[in-house]
Amino acid sequence: MRALQSKSNTIRPPRLGLACACVLFAQTAVQAQPHAVEPLPTPFFAVDQATPLSAAVAPGSVLSKPGPTIAFNFDGLGLTADDDLNALSFNRAVEISPMQTFVLMFGVDRETAGGAPPDPAFAAMNRPFNVQDQANRNQEAGDLYITMDAYDFFGIIDSIGPRTTTNNNTLAINQGDTGGVDQDLSPELAPAVQESGSPDNANAAAYPPPARTGVIFFSITRGSPSLFGPANVYIDLNPEMPGQESIFASAAELGLIDAQPGPIDDIDAMIVFDMDADNEFDAGEDIIYYSLERGSPTLSLLGASAADIFKSMGGGVSELYAEAILLGLDPVVDNVDCLELFPTSPSTLTQDIHDWAIFRVWPGDFDNDGILDQIDCSAFPTCYTGPGGTVAGMCDVFDIDYDTDVDCDDWQYFRGVYLEATMMSNCVPITVSEFVTALLDAAAPDELKCYADMNADGVADGRDIQPFVHALIGS
């Protein structure tokens, strides 16, 4: 195995603007240096119906960066605006041989909590982000994670000598704001930031072939009115044009339940290997790896989890391929809702994951020294623009929510990461006199009222006095 190489990961040059006429939303944010040594490419993906983005693009469409951009519109897949595509794959046999080893890439839903804390060794190398960490920050649903163990066609493999596994994951592609190692989804926040709203959910992901076009495999959610149910794998020979859709692998071929009345299975993540690329599911030859949505009756029958991954070669049989616990997930609480893979080798696995993993860049690191301290705290007021202002120059590091201004929203985010970074609460950019003015003078500037709101309840009042005093004395 290669010795783990130490590479700088704190450089943050000025961000560059990004524009594209074909994107769904104007890019108002500026971009930082990628937050990974060797960033993984962003796959094509889809979002669920609860994602605000789905109001502008139907959840049956396949998306890509930048923007996001519509790669394949829902109608080209034989779907309607009421359908929800929730599993996606291209033929991975085109690029992945049966002898290849790889890491699994997966996403989770909004209810997922994670089953393992961040790997201590990776956290010590400034890579503390995994499913559990991101779930604690309410940012898990739009991310893509990679396993910290290698897999082959048969399951998990040992990376060196004796069979030892890490049983964990690390963040590889964020939903937003990681210097381009992201999916342009919301919230546009770095993974170190606590989010209070409802994040976007990427519920399908797949790397396209080099030419980007070609055969596509997909499935749909329960309740989608088109096609023939959520327990089948569909194939579309030309996703640019409707009418080329058919069933590639039926529920019966996979050993799944789709008979009604009663509950039916729902495939919500998959990787397809059509070994001879004949666009037919050949039993005993082709392989489908997949996961099932919560509430699928097969999970109950098998005592399995929505975070487990299964493997089927047809014949009405599926087998367990990777248990939730091997992925660092909680088998009771969690749900895998998109699935991909990325090639590696046992000899380079540790270095590869180190280089692919998103490392922490503290938002608000004004002097770019890799830490947050009083220099950064003191710089914030000099960069404050207020709502609707325009951030410029080095001050862009304080535009934490990427809306082109530095306002009270950014301050509250900054206070949170400052506390985590320093284990202190004494970033107090106002004097005692200014604090009193903010509390007693209704005409006080909004900026002062923002800083004086020490308990972050949206108003500067007497309840902020105690935390203000504690912050001043560093207790």
pLDDT at 213: 58
Per-residue b or e along 139-176, where b marks 16 or more CB atoms closer than 10 Å to that residue's CB: bbbbbbbbbbbbbebeebeebeeeeeebbbbbbbbbbb
Q: Is residue 131 part of a domain?
A: yes
Q: Which of 305, 325, 356 is the last residue of a domain?
A: 356
Q: Is residue 67 part of a domain?
A: yes
pLDDT at 174: 92
DSSP 197: S
Tell me which of 12 and 420 has the higher pLDDT: 420
CA-based R_g, the chain, Å: 24
Is there a single domain that holds both residue 218 and residue 175? Answer: yes
Mean pLDDT score of the chain: 87
CA triple 140-226-319, angle to 5 deg: 55
Q: Sorting pLDDT into bands at 50, 70 and 90, what band is 189?
A: confident
Are 67 and 82 in contact by the 8 Å Cβ rule? The answer is: no
pLDDT at 369: 83
The tokens describing 269, both together, are: 């993540």
Least reliable range by pLDDT among 104-108, 114-118, 180-184: 180-184
Q: Provide the domain count of the chain.
A: 2
Average pLDDT over residues 344-372: 89
Are 290 and 308 in contact by the 8 Å Cβ rule? The answer is: no
17 has pLDDT over 70: no
Q: Which of 305, 322, 356 is the last residue of a domain?
A: 356
242 has pLDDT over 90: no
Are 397 and 365 in contact by the 8 Å Cβ rule? The answer is: yes
- As a whole-number percent, the residues of the chain with pLDDT over 90 amount to 62
What stretch of H or E contains 235? strand 233-236
Is there a single domain that holds both residue 154 and residue 40? Answer: yes
Q: How far apart are CA 240 and CA 14, in angstroms?
A: 38
- The predicted-structure confidence for 125-163, as pLDDT tens digits, reads as follows 999 999 999 999 999 999 999 999 999 999 998 654 433
For residue 289, what are the β-bridge partners?
271, 311
Is there a single domain that holds both residue 328 and residue 413? Answer: no
pLDDT at 33: 63
Q: How far apart are CA 210 and CA 174, in angstroms?
A: 23
Is there a single domain that holds both residue 278 and residue 335? Answer: yes
Q: Is residue 53 part of a domain?
A: yes
50 has pLDDT over 90: no
Is there a single domain that holds both residue 313 and residue 226? Answer: yes
The tokens describing 465, both together, are: 């006095």
- The pTM of the full predicted model, rounded to 2 decimals, is 0.85
pLDDT at 55: 64
What stretch of H or E contains 220? strand 216-220
The tokens describing 5, both together, are: 């190489």
Is there a single domain that holds both residue 307 and residue 432? Answer: no
77 has pLDDT over 90: yes
Q: Is residue 362 part of a domain?
A: no
9 has pLDDT over 70: no
CB neighbours of residue 21 within 10 Å: 4
Which amino acid is present at 410?
D
Burial of 193 per CB tally in 10 Å (0-12, 13-18, 19+): buried
Q: Is residue 201 part of a domain?
A: yes
Q: Is residue 2 part of a domain?
A: no
Q: Which residue intervals of 195-331 are DSSP H helices?
A: 251-254, 297-302
Average pLDDT over residues 230-246: 92
- As a whole-number percent, the residues of the chain with pLDDT over 70 amount to 89
Average pLDDT over residues 372-380: 91
Q: Is residue 3 part of a domain?
A: no
The tokens describing 308, both together, are: 């487990």
Is there a single domain that holds both residue 411 and residue 321? Answer: no
31 has pLDDT over 70: no
The tokens describing 152, both together, are: 């082959």
424 has pLDDT over 80: no
Q: Is residue 156 part of a domain?
A: yes
Is there a single domain that holds both residue 313 and residue 414? Answer: no
> Which residues touch 173 (CB under 8 Å, ≥6 apart)?
40, 42, 143, 144, 181, 182, 183, 358
- Nearest CA to 176 among 150, 202, 209? 202
CA triple 354-195-399, angle to 5 deg: 80
Taking the alpha carbons at both ends of the chain, their separation in whole angstroms is 46
pLDDT at 382: 94
The tokens describing 438, both together, are: 């903010």
Residue whose structure tokens are 């569909």: 234
Least reliable range by pLDDT among 190-194, 230-234, 244-248: 190-194
Is there a single domain that holds both residue 249 and residue 331? Answer: yes
> Which residues touch 245 (CB under 8 Å, ≥6 apart)?
77, 78, 227, 234, 235, 236
- The predicted-structure confidence for 202-225, as pLDDT tens digits, reads as follows 999 999 887 655 799 999 999 999
Q: Sorting pLDDT into bands at 50, 70 and 90, what band is 475?
A: low
Per-residue b or e along 399-436, where b marks 16 or more CB atoms closer than 10 Å to that residue's CB: bbbbbbbbbbebbbbbbbbbbebbeebebbbbeeebbe
Give the sign of the dihedral formed by CA 290, CA 296, CA 301, CA 306.
Answer: positive
Is there a single domain that holds both residue 308 and residue 397? Answer: no
- Nearest CA to 92 among 241, 287, 251? 287
Is there a single domain that holds both residue 390 and residue 456? Answer: yes
Phi, psi of 394 (to 5 degrees): -65, -20
Average pLDDT over residues 314-333: 97
Average pLDDT over residues 187-216: 85
CA triple 320-326-267, angle to 5 deg: 45
CB neighbours of residue 368 within 10 Å: 14
Average pLDDT over residues 284-312: 97
Q: What is the span of the domain harbouring residue 395?
A: 374-473
296 has pLDDT over 50: yes
Is there a single domain that holds both residue 241 and residue 279? Answer: yes
pLDDT at 27: 34
Average pLDDT over residues 75-97: 93
